[in-house]
Amino acid sequence: MPNRLQIIAASPDPALLTLPWHLPLEEWPEDVLAALPRGISRHVVRFVKLSGRVIAVKEIGESVAHREYDLLRQLDRIDVPSVEPVGVVTGRVSREGEPLTPALVTEHLQFSLPYRALFSQYLRPDTATRLIDALAVLLVRLHLNGFYWGDVSLSNTLFRRDAGAFAAYLVDAETGDLHEALTPGQRAYDLEIARVNVIGELMDLEAGEILDSTVDTLTVGEMLVVRYEELWKELTGSEWFEPGELWRVQARIDRLNDLGFDVGELDMSTDIDGTRIRIQPKVVDAGHHHRRLMRLTGLDVQENQARRLLNDLDSYRMSTDRQGEDEEFVAHDWLTNVFEPTIRAIPREMRGKLEPAEAFHEVLEHRWYLSQQQDRDVPLSEAVPSYLDTVLRHRPDEVAVLGLDTATLRALDEDDGDRLIG
């Protein structure tokens, strides 16, 4: 029986059928490709324009494709930062009837970049440290949800800017596995894989003279382990206190909130003679600030961005002397009078450079620097045009192209070697 093209998709898009599945990915024509930087991958990966959006297509074995598709769907259901699965394409054959490798299709994560593209922009020397922080948070979140990654690395991660920091997203789950809970041994092994891979990737950047010469690759790799263990202990560790120190329960919850986590359930017990109380978080959910901002304004942003916007909302509340008013009413006015006018002031041709929340964060940063320079409180009405003219205008376009066309990106990939595309 002849092969028949089959597409399994969560939300079927008929336009998927129009793509040239009869050609190997390496031969797909330029007119269907999107000019986006690709990270290092064991497989051939291409970004493709489809129905006004961009998807990522990866050639991979059929059983592995189905398994990764299912894992990504499960991660999406439990709200872990990862790419969104679109479907699996099997039964591909060439015009001559030769079988072609099946493909996994995922949504492209807008405004995200692979780590090599970030370093190629000559970012600050602490970029490596900020990426490690983001990767540590992602790994902790995955482990809290029982996900063993199996191949933790910068290459298998995408990064979004998050109010001066980065937010990390899992992009490759083919070696992963989801459990009810991970054992300490599984967590330790995953963390060791991460440490070794990160050191190797940074050494690779160092050899290519892309990494800042002041960065100690071994120290950065060890830093991942330290940051992970610190965060894991804070989120899961138990704490003893005296009955007269009940305030420490709320202090523990506030500390977790500051880290961006909500405490969904807390285990409280006493010792044998009842003289001490033990508390331990049982259920922690990431996204504390994100959820609060979403409830107040409807804005769906990264965690650190939400924290920064909430701080500005609090400042607005104080400056307008409305501390006694309902928070939701003040939030509506802040959204209408501060956030939205700032974003609307960005010219249409510049709106692909940064996400709105990140642009707003940078405006606030720029306003602070101007105020320091001029020794006065610079109003937002002055800071916005100055930021647009002196900062944003000179940034690359991160929503899509980074200022490069498809042919140029392909040439850059070839210069980096076959490992970029397979």
- Considering the domain architecture, whether residues 167 and 229 belong to the same structural domain is answered as yes
In a domain, 81, yes or no: yes
The mean pLDDT of 93-105, rounded to a whole number, is: 93
d(CA 89, CA 369): 51
Question: What is the DSSP code (8-state) at residue 33?
Answer: B
Q: How confident is the model at residue 268 (pLDDT cuts 50, 70, 90)?
A: confident
20 has a pLDDT exceeding 60: yes
pLDDT number for residue 63: 94
**What's the pLDDT score for residue 406?**
40
**Are residue 198 and residue 104 in the same domain, yes or no?**
no
Instruction: Give 356-415 pLDDT, tens digit per residue.
Output: 999 999 999 999 999 999 999 999 999 999 999 999 998 877 654 333 444 444 444 444
Which pLDDT score is estimated for 419?
Answer: 31
The residue ranking higher by pLDDT, 1 or 294, is 294
| Residue 220 lies inside a defined structural domain of this protein | yes
* DSSP for 79-113, written as a single string: T-SBPPEEEEEE--B-TTS-B---EEEEE--TTEE
**For residue 148, which of 197, 108, 198, 184 has the smallest C-alpha distance?**
184
Residue 401 has a pLDDT of: 39
Residue 243 is assigned to a structural domain of this protein: yes
Cα dihedral 355, 360, 365, 367 in deg (nearest 10) = 140
Give yes or no: residues 16 and 53 share one domain. yes
Based on the domain organization, do 68 and 122 belong to the same domain? no
Q: Using 50, 70 and 90 to split pLDDT, how confident is the model at 40?
A: low
SS (H, E, C) 177-199: EECCCCCHHHHHHHHHHHHHHHH
- Confidence at residue 13, expressed as pLDDT on a 0 to 100 scale: 84
Whether 70 and 140 share a structural domain: no
pLDDT at 21 over 60: yes
102 and 141 together in one domain? no
Q: Are 79 and 169 part of one and the same domain?
A: no
Give the chain's domain count: 5
Q: Where are the alpha helices (DSSP H) in 265-326?
A: 288-297, 303-319
Query: In 45-84, which ranges are E strands?
Result: 45-50, 53-59
Q: What is the number of helices (H) and of strands (E) in the chain? A: 13, 13
pLDDT of residue 405: 42
The neighbour count for residue 188, using CB atoms within 10 Å, is 13
CA distance 191 to 193: 5
Q: Please state at what angle helix 356-374 crosses helix 380-390, rounded to 10 degrees.
A: 110
What pLDDT was estimated at residue 161?
87
Question: Is 73 found in the same domain as 127?
Answer: no
Residue 342 CA to residue 312 CA, distance in Å, equals 13
Q: What is the pLDDT at residue 262? A: 81
Q: Give the structural domain span for 58.
A: 6-109
- The enclosing domain of 34 has a CATH number of 3.30.200
Q: Is residue 316 part of a domain?
A: yes
Tens digit of each residue's pLDDT (9 = 90 or more) over 135-181: 999 999 999 999 999 999 999 999 988 888 889 999 999 899 999 99
Interatomic CA distance for residues 178 and 145, integer angstroms: 8
Six token digits for residue 229: 């263990």
Q: Same domain for 207 and 296? A: no
Lowest mean pLDDT among 206-220, 263-277, 282-296: 263-277
Say if 31 falls within a structural domain: yes
Same domain membership, residue 406 and residue 350:
yes
Residue 278 corresponds to which tokens in the numbers above? Answer: 């033990």
Kindly state the average pLDDT of the residues 51-68. Answer: 92
pLDDT at 420: 31
Look at residue 422 and tell me if it is in a domain. no
CA 100 to chain centre: 32
Compute the mean pLDDT over every residue in the chain, rounded to the nearest whole number: 86
Q: Phi, psi (5° rounding) for residue 22? A: -80, -5
- Asked whether the predicted pLDDT for residue 293 surpasses 80, the reply is yes
Residue 422 confidence class, pLDDT cut points 50, 70, 90: very low
* CATH number of the domain enclosing 229: 1.10.510
Last residue of a domain, one of 87, 109, 131: 109
Distance CA 191, CA 188 (A): 5
Q: Is residue 376 included in any domain, yes or no?
A: yes
Can you tell me whether residue 63 is helix, strand or coil?
A: helix
State pLDDT tens for residues 218-237: 998 999 999 999 999 988 88
pLDDT digits (tens, 9 = 90+) for 334-348: 999 999 999 999 999
Quick one: average pLDDT of 6-21?
A: 88
**Are 63 and 12 in a shared domain?**
yes
SS3 category, 160: strand
Task: Please check whether residue 73 lies inside any domain of the structure.
Answer: yes
Which helix (H) or strand (E) is 232 found in, with range?
Answer: helix 217-236
| 122 compared with 82, residue with greater pLDDT | 82
In this structure, are 361 and 325 located in the same domain?
no
Place of tokens 């599945």: 21
Percentage of the chain modeled with pLDDT above 70: 90
